[in-house]
Amino acid sequence: MKTMTCPLNGVRNISEFVCGGEVRAMPDPATGSDAEWADYVFMENNKAGVVREWWCHTPTSFWFIAERDTVTDEILRTYPAGEVFTARRDFASKEGGS
Amino acid sequence: MPFGLLKYGLLPSRRVPRRIPPTPELKPSYDVVIIGGGGHGLAAAYYLATVHGITNVAVLEKGYLAGGNTARNTAIIRSNYLTPEGVRFYDESVRLYQGLSNELGFNILYSERGHLTLAHTDAAVRTMRWRAEVNKHCGVNSELIFPDDIRKLAPSLNLSQDVRYPILAALHHPPGSIARHDAVAWGYAIGAARRGVEIHQQTEVTGLKREGNRIVAVETNRGTVACGKVLQAVAGSSTRLADMAGLRLPIKTVPLQACVSQPLKPFLDPIIVSGSLHVYISQSSRGELVMGGSTDPYPLYSTRSTLEFKETLMAHMLEMFPFLSEVRLLRQWAGMADMTPDFSPVMGETPLDNYYLDAGWGTWGFKATPVCGKRMAETVATGKAPDILHAFRLSRFEEFAQAGERGAASVGH
Ligand SMILES: Cc1cc2nc3c(=O)[nH]c(=O)nc-3n(C[C@H](O)[C@H](O)[C@H](O)COP(=O)(O)OP(=O)(O)OC[C@H]3O[C@@H](n4cnc5c(N)ncnc54)[C@H](O)[C@@H]3O)c2cc1C
């Protein structure tokens, strides 16, 4: 069985994980256009090569980031999301909205 | 005696004629370049030549003829989908398939078996009833049936209620069929080549030359050709080609695995699918059990097989057919499926003026080979996608108008 290293739980069978898709910047909920949202929700880079993705260890619901090669099926590195998301991101608020 | 036989076999008059011509030199330009020599590309070439009289056409295939998903699929043909747009589209394909051996003068071994989609929960029974009603409304033969009738169609199926997922009902679709997948591609290739279409094997497209809003030339490992129009039909490589054209697609490339058992005496007539158990099975004309499930759990550009696939597949298969524990596996393989978020294809025009798309065929495109070929040929010839393809346009995603077929396509293909 193929294995993956969970930053929280260590080496586990790959069947304990689900892939949550590529790490991408979300459009601003207040200012993002319909076209930006459609692209974010539906379109895929679908890169052949090294990608950076969200993965979840389902028994513990722990989300983290993995770098893997989509051609060789090698998992290169896994690490907590805090390595990428180092600061809080504040979105613009809609004028007059709350 | 052996020498006599050899001599007889080698007589020039005994030589089997080569029906698909060897790859010719590339010409400097073609009216239409088709990228991808799978069933879809070859069918489009055939209908361009036969229906529209366009024969200055080159099909460019990076490997050998129809060696991609066309060679790897489990050959299930059916039209019992969920949306009226889907049912109408796949129904046209089933009708074309029914007459295809005659049309092509080539036996595609079309075998009408009937198709059973099992329901193991109340929710699944509701979906099957919904599909049956949509199907009937569109003139497609589908019926919800219960264990007594299921037993008559598949006596070897385990209908015990003392299992983890007892079978409550099934969607019965009598026109469901299987066919010889290679023969479909070869039949179209022979028909197209006979009318002057050039088929170039070992010819990989490596780049597209764009001027303004048009693709003016196609670059390959054997040189560059100018083109009037281009049709892209490359299944698991859809994103790589779209990147060359500067288009964005809603597609993930995910492996889909399948396997066959050693041959057994014929015992299983219908094709059987279980969405809840994530498995499907049919018996080929050679007696092998053809088995598969849903796609791999994560995207990959690879055709490797995994032990995990076989373990989960068999665990569920044994619940349906316990006696299969005695049977050995013979072969296993995988293909790269071009998956869309709504389990419907992406077909028709693109933002480019002369570039047309036949993609997003995921795990369900073999059954659509004839209708895709016919309707994409029409799209390329007239420059406009016909009405029947409208629901599958690329722009449906920015319009938030998906054609949701997940309930009918995620395991059943
Ligand atoms: C295991 C498995 C089971 C399946 N079961 C079913 C089923 O039961 N029923 C069903 O309806 N569908 C099924 N499918 C789906 C079906 O196989 C595909 O949707 C269908 O075959 C797609 O046909 P195609 O001609 O578009 O693609 P392909 O046959 O894959 O042809 C595309 C061709 O493009 C070529 N190509 C790629 N890149 C380039 C390039 N740069 N230059 C030139 N050529 C290139 C490839 O080599 C390939 O030959 C299954 C798929 C798999 C993998």
**Best CA proximity match to B257, nearest among B408, B412, B363:** B363
User: What is the C-alpha to C-alpha distance for residues B57 and B46, in angstroms, rounded to an integer?
Assistant: 10
Residue of A46, A74, A75 best to disrupt the B interface, most CBs of B under 10 A: A46
B26-73+182-250+342-408 architecture in CATH?
3-Layer(bba) Sandwich (3.50)
A40 at interface of B, judged by CB pairs closer than 8 A: no
- Given a cut of 70, whether residue A94 has pLDDT beyond it is no
Average pLDDT along chain B? 96
**Best CA proximity match to B172, nearest among B152, B187, B202, B199:** B152
Q: Which of B180, B204, B358, B366 has most ligand 1 atoms within 8 Å of CB, for mutation?
A: B366
User: What is the C-alpha to C-alpha distance for residues B351 and B340, in angstroms, rounded to an integer?
Assistant: 19
pLDDT of residue B410: 79
CB-based contact A92:A28 (threshold 8 Å): yes
Q: State the nearest Cα–Cα gap between B302 and chain A, in angstroms.
A: 6
CB contact under 8 A, B397 and A43: yes
Structure tokens at B18: 């080569």
CA B322 to chain centre: 30
CB contact under 8 A, A70 and B398: no
pLDDT of residue B7: 83
The CA-atom distances, in angstroms, between B22 and each of B13, B17, B202, B205 are 20, 12, 11, 19
Q: Which residues have CB under 8 Å from B154's CB, separation 6+?
A: B116, B268, B269, B270, B272
3-state DSSP assignment of residue B352: coil
- Given a cut of 60, whether residue A69 has pLDDT beyond it is yes
Note which residues in 202-241 of chain B have CB less than 8 A from chain A.
239-240
3-state DSSP assignment of residue A8: coil
3-state DSSP assignment of residue B113: coil
Residue B411 gets which letter from DSSP? T
Q: Where are the domains of chain B?
A: 26-73+182-250+342-408, 113-175+253-339
pLDDT of residue A1: 78
Phi-psi region of B390 (alpha: psi -120 to 50; beta: other; left: phi over 0): alpha
A19 at interface of B, judged by CB pairs closer than 8 A: yes
pLDDT of residue A92: 79
pLDDT range class, residue B1, cuts 50, 70, 90:
low
pLDDT of residue A95: 59
Q: What confidence tens digit (pLDDT) does each residue in B336-393 have?
A: 999 999 999 999 999 999 999 999 999 999 999 999 999 999 999 999 999 999 999 9
- Given a cut of 80, whether residue B334 has pLDDT beyond it is yes
Question: Residue B15 burial (CB < 10 Å; 0-12/13-18/19+)?
Answer: exposed
Structure tokens at B377: 């040929």
- What structural domains and CATH numbers belong to chain A? 3-83 (3.30.2270.10)
Q: Which of B231, B356, B363 has most ligand 1 atoms within 8 Å of CB, for mutation?
A: B363
Out of A15, A39, A73, name the one closest to residue B304 (CB). A73
Q: State the nearest Cα–Cα gap between B250 and chain A, in angstroms.
A: 4
Q: Which of B69, B241, B340, B405 has most ligand 1 atoms within 8 Å of CB, for mutation?
A: B69
Q: What confidence tens digit (pLDDT) does each residue in A9-68 have?
A: 999 999 999 999 999 999 999 999 999 999 999 999 999 999 999 999 999 999 999 999
CB-based contact B138:B175 (threshold 8 Å): no
Homologous superfamily of B113-175+253-339: D-Amino Acid Oxidase, subunit A, domain 2 (3.30.9.10)
Number of Cβ pairs < 8 A linking chain A and chain B: 56
- Given a cut of 90, whether residue B3 has pLDDT beyond it is no
User: What is the C-alpha to C-alpha distance for residues B133 and B129, in angstroms, rounded to an integer?
Assistant: 6
Q: What confidence tens digit (pLDDT) does each residue in B289-315 have?
A: 999 999 999 999 999 999 999 999 999
Between residues B409 and B388, which one has the greater pLDDT? Answer: B388
Q: Is the C-beta atom of B63 inside 6 A of ligand 1?
A: yes
pLDDT range class, residue B10, cuts 50, 70, 90:
confident
**Best CA proximity match to B116, nearest among B79, B72, B170:** B170
A14 at interface of B, judged by CB pairs closer than 8 A: yes
| pLDDT > 90: percent of chain B | 93
pLDDT range class, residue B6, cuts 50, 70, 90:
confident
- Given a cut of 50, whether residue B262 has pLDDT beyond it is yes
pLDDT of residue B323: 93
3-state DSSP assignment of residue B358: strand
Structure tokens at B91: 């129904």
Q: Is the C-beta atom of B290 inside 6 A of ligand 1?
A: no
Please name every residue paired with B335 in a beta bridge, in sequence order, or none if there are none.
B256
Q: Is the C-beta atom of B237 inside 6 A of ligand 1?
A: yes
User: What is the C-alpha to C-alpha distance for residues B284 and B179, in angstroms, rounded to an integer?
Assistant: 9
Structure tokens at B339: 């998956």
Q: What confidence tens digit (pLDDT) does each residue in B191-237 have?
A: 999 999 999 999 999 999 999 999 999 999 999 999 999 999 999 99
- Given a cut of 90, whether residue B19 has pLDDT beyond it is no
**Residue B92 CB-half CA count within 13 A:** 16
Query: Distance from the CA of B202 to the center of ligand 1, in angstroms?
Result: 16
With tokens 């009408």, the residue in question is B112
CB contact under 8 A, A72 and B400: no
- Given a cut of 90, whether residue B161 has pLDDT beyond it is yes
User: What is the C-alpha to C-alpha distance for residues B27 and B60, in angstroms, rounded to an integer?
Assistant: 12
